[in-house]
Amino acid sequence: MVIANTLENDMDAISNCIKYDYTNGLVEGKNIKIKCIEITMYGRCSFNLLRKKVLAVELRHYAN
């Protein structure tokens, strides 16, 4: 019963998933990575330091 109600509520999302080839998975992955960095730096930084840390992580990722 609960699963059927959930599927009915998400019918638009399900049909869009089948209909289109693209996904927002890459964007969501970047958001999660930034949130993890924010959590580890909580209370210790300003926006500028957070920005530098995010850019450093991305540069390190692409350097390898």
What tens digit of pLDDT does each residue of 19-34 get?
A: 888 888 888 888 998 8
Question: Domain for residue 31, yes or no?
Answer: yes
Question: Domain for residue 3, yes or no?
Answer: no
Question: Domain for residue 55, yes or no?
Answer: yes
Quote the pLDDT of residue 1: 52
Neighbours of 18 (CB within 10 A): 6
Question: Domain for residue 9, yes or no?
Answer: no
d(CA 27, CA 60): 18
Question: Domain for residue 61, yes or no?
Answer: yes
Quote the pLDDT of residue 63: 75
Report how many domains make up the chain. Answer: 1
Question: Domain for residue 51, yes or no?
Answer: yes
Domain range for residue 30?
23-64
Quote the pLDDT of residue 30: 87
Which stretches of the chain drop beneath a pLDDT of 70? 1-4, 64
Question: Domain for residue 6, yes or no?
Answer: no
